Amino acid sequence: MTASTGTPLNDIVDATADAVAGDPAAAHVVFRAAGTPEGAVGSTITLGKHTVRVDEPPALGGTDTAPNPVEVYLSALISCQVVTYRFWAQRLGIAIDDLAIEAEGDLDVRGFFGLDDAVRPGFQAIRVTVRVTGPEPATRYADLQRVVDTHCPVLDLTAAPTPVHTTLVTA
C-alpha cells in the first residue's frame, strides 16, 4: 500500500490495492479494440466509445488522411509514458513543473514488404526523449525515469515479448 498523500492518483492506487488484496483476480482488466478497412489501406478502429482512424502515406499506398499504424504506436508509447510519469511522480512525491516526451523509430520497410525476410517488419530501434523540469535534483528525476521504464505498460509491449494468439474465422 502506498503512503497516502491525498493526491488523486495515490488515492486510486490505495483503492485498487484494497480491492485486489483479497482477490488478485480482480486486478485483471481486458481492453478491446475492433477494426474495419477504410480506403485503400486505412482502417477505422473502435475502442469502446472512441474511434481512431489510421492510414498510410502515399508511398505506402494510402492517402495520408490519418497517422499510420507505427505512428499510432509511438503516440501510444508517448501517452503511456506521460501517464506513467505523472502517476509515479505523485506516488513518489516528486514535483514536476513541465513534462514533454518525444519518440522516433527506425523502420526498414523491406521487412513489411517481404523484400528481405532477415529484416524484421517492426521498428529496429526506438528513441524516447523525456524533458522534465522541476525543483528536484537531477538524481530524483533519474530515479523516476527508472521507475517509469519499469512500470510503463506500452513500453513493456516493446521491451518484452507479449504472446499474441491470432484466430482466423472464415465464412
Q: How confident is the model at residue 131 (pLDDT cuts 50, 70, 90)?
A: very high
Answer yes or no: is pLDDT of 163 > 70. yes
Q: What is the CATH number of the domain that holds 91?
A: 3.30.300.20
Predicted local distance difference test score (pLDDT) of residue 6: 63
Are residues 135 and 61 both part of a single domain? no
Q: What is the DSSP string of 103-143?
A: EEEEE-HHHHHTS-TTS-SSEEEEEEEEEEESSS-HHHHHH
Are residues 73 and 157 both part of a single domain? yes
Are residues 147 and 134 both part of a single domain? yes
Are residues 62 and 73 both part of a single domain? no
* Count of the separate structural domains present in the chain: 2
Mean pLDDT of the chain: 93
Answer yes or no: is pLDDT of 4 > 60. no
pLDDT digits (tens, 9 = 90+) for 57-102: 998 899 999 999 999 999 999 999 999 999 999 999 999 999 999 9
- Coil, strand or helix at 8: helix
Tell me the backbone φ, ψ of residue 80, rounded to 5 degrees.
Answer: -70, -40
Q: How confident is the model at residue 1 (pLDDT cuts 50, 70, 90)?
A: very low
Predicted local distance difference test score (pLDDT) of residue 12: 86
Domain membership of residue 34 as a residue range:
30-66
Answer yes or no: is pLDDT of 3 > 70. no
Predicted local distance difference test score (pLDDT) of residue 17: 86
Please say which residue of 9, 40, 66 terminates a domain. 66
C-alpha cell at 71: 505512428
Please say which residue of 22, 49, 66 terminates a domain. 66
Answer yes or no: is pLDDT of 10 > 90. no
Are residues 36 and 95 both part of a single domain? no
